[in-house]
Amino acid sequence: MFDSLDLGLKGKVAIVAGGGAVGNGIGNGRAASILLADAGVNVLVVDKEEVLANKTVEMIEARGGTAISVGAELTKSSECEKVVNLAISKWGRLDILDNNVGIGSKLSVVDETEEHWDRVMDINLKPMFLMSKYAIPAMIDSGDGGSIVNISSISATRPKGLTVYSTSKGAVLSLSQAMAVDHGADGIRVNCILPGPVYTPMVYTPGMSDEHRSQRQNASLVQIEGEGWDIGKAVVYLSSNWARYVTGHLMVVDGGCSLSAKPRG
């Protein structure tokens, strides 16, 4: 797909945290994994459920790419360190980290439980912190700097009915920009993608009516439905030499939904 473009990615090594998806579905992490491999990147696909990461690797290899998989609980420091060490032991370097791990929540602070608040914050933030903690020194040791892409949501800046989720995703924005400041001198760029209502397995697996799906599509100014591929392509750009002068950026990928969408019912 990228044969005619010099993205400067061939031979690089990436970790995609949350790179699995249910069945043959294309989630944000799976799309990023496949497209990075298409660009010549060696990809370590990580998921809590290793069987989902294995499927992503199968899809990559079917396209001629190179990838391996590992199952890991990325809210644990030792597991994140294990993942980074695996990439280094396999390919000798680390250049890219794509942080996709996250869950949702639909309740207000009045209706939300303390236990679920803790769970959302733990899953939506701690893996980004811990994976970056171990990835950044590895990127520095590799000698060419690196790129970290954190996945947030337009709910971070347009909170309408997903209060705890929006709060966690707002923290991702601050974390990304703070990391960009901290590690720019190390040659490490840190950027953040804010997806809109993208049709991914995480969204449709619990069940979605045709009416709801149509409403999500119609919220886009360009009247098209966002896909995991749209987020994956943004990850490839931000990871490439084409974005060498881009860091601390909050990239909205939502078809204009955040400009027009009505409050959730």
Catalytic residue among 165, 199, 204, 245: 165
Q: In the numeric block, which tokens belong to residue 66?
A: 């190179």
* DSSP character string of 102-171: -------TTTS-HHHHHHHHHHHHHHHHHHHHHHHHHHHHHTS-EEEEEE--GGGTS-SS-HHHHHHHHH
Helix (H, G, I), strand (E, B) or coil at 252: strand
Burial of 145 by CB count in 10 Å (0-12 exposed, 13-18 middle, 19+ buried)? middle
Find tokens 């700097």 and name the residue.
145
Contact partners, residue 217, CB within 8 Å, separation at least 6 = 223, 224, 225
Residue environment code for 38-55, b if the CB has 16+ CB neighbours within 10 A, otherwise e: bbbbbbbbbbbeeebbbb
d(CA 32, CA 109): 33
Q: Is the dihedral of CA 106, 109, 112, 114 positive or negative?
A: positive
Q: Is 165 noted as a catalytic residue in this protein?
A: yes
Question: How many Cα atoms sit within 13 Å of 241 on the Cβ side?
Answer: 9
d(CA 182, CA 146): 13
Q: Which residues are catalytic?
A: 165
